[in-house]
Copies of this chain bind each other. A is one copy, B any other.
């Protein structure tokens, strides 16, 4: 499309974008509204300069090397929560976006938008958390930027990180490679980060001992790729870190991108009692709650057992489980078989149940 098609004066787009003339919280939720914003506003507006799709991670070649490139802004509230802060999220989140293409993260940029009046001790705590998370992940914080906005026009600290990673030779991990028969593995308990953050939101305090699961996942991915000898690589087709929109959003995105169906066995999905209890009280579905240190993997059936075993041997994959299978039926749909033998469609969420969770 040319830029003329998005002349704002004549600008048209399908519902639900057209139903709201303004930005709503759901546009940042990683669900259907986010996807519409990309498809019907950003991609036409960017035109020839844009990617054909704005994936979490771009891949480009430099000489014979293939690099992964990804960015995320972090606006989580509160800034500090059980198990971490916006600082760990900003490092681990972008490390994980790179890792989901199989890349080894090399370096990150860090950009801060600070609200006038924010205590410098808060900023120092956040920056220290970033330094420690980067050291733990083995990435370098290579370049940065700081802007300040007037009080009342920001919210304490917003952090953006962009990251560059190196994709090992011959590795090709992306949604389009997913095939019927693939095993669907999750690396552990779902819904933990979202419930941990929610537990300390103003007005929503409830008793839980849950801590955010924020963690870097590239080392787990490396272990999954080489479950036996270092020479034999397991055939992992696609990887996702189910953050905003939870497991439901990630599975729906993959199902749509690959044109396949996803069959889940609901009782196989590891939901800790504390998450189930909190979700029960608040009327939330754990499949839609954000995770930070978990991944979902689509693996060729012949390799699924040894990849699962490798995950369980790794500290970040101890609770790994087989949760479903890719099928040729109902392409684009995620269907869960419930504990009672019934089936339900697990839709792409419109927005997010819990905004500003990352």
A positions within 8 Å CB-CB of B: 3, 6-8, 11, 17, 20-29, 34, 37-38, 41-42, 45-51, 54-58, 60, 62-65, 67, 69-75, 106-107, 109-125, 127-128, 130-132, 134-135, 139-150, 152-155, 158, 160, 162, 164, 166, 355-356
Q: Are B145 and A73 in contact (CB under 8 A)?
A: yes
- Looking at chain A's contact residues, the main secondary structure is mixed
Determine how many copies of this chain the complex contains. Answer: 2
Q: Which residues of B contact A153 (CB under 8 A)?
A: 154-155
Q: Which 7 A-B pairs rank lowest in CB-CB distance, beginning with the nearest?
A: A28-B148, A162-B162, A45-B127, A49-B134, A58-B142, A71-B109, A153-B155
* CA of A28 to CA of B124, assembled, Å: 16
* CA of A145 to CA of B74, assembled, Å: 10
Q: Are A28 and B146 in contact (CB under 8 A)?
A: yes
Q: Which residues of B contact A127 (CB under 8 A)?
A: 6, 41-42, 45-46
Q: Are B155 and A17 in contact (CB under 8 A)?
A: no
Tell me the minimal C-beta distance from A353 to chain B in angstroms. Answer: 14
Q: Are B128 and A6 in contact (CB under 8 A)?
A: yes
- Which one of B17, B65, B114, B149 lies within 8 Å of A63 (CB-CB)? B65
Q: Which residues of B contact A75 (CB under 8 A)?
A: 113, 147, 149
- Which one of B22, B50, B62 lies within 8 Å of A67 (CB-CB)? B62
Q: Are A124 and B45 in contact (CB under 8 A)?
A: yes
A34, closest chain B residue (CB): B146
Q: Which residues of B contact A113 (CB under 8 A)?
A: 73, 75, 113, 158
Q: Which residues of B contact A7 (CB under 8 A)?
A: 128
Q: Which residues of B contact A47 (CB under 8 A)?
A: 128, 131-132, 135
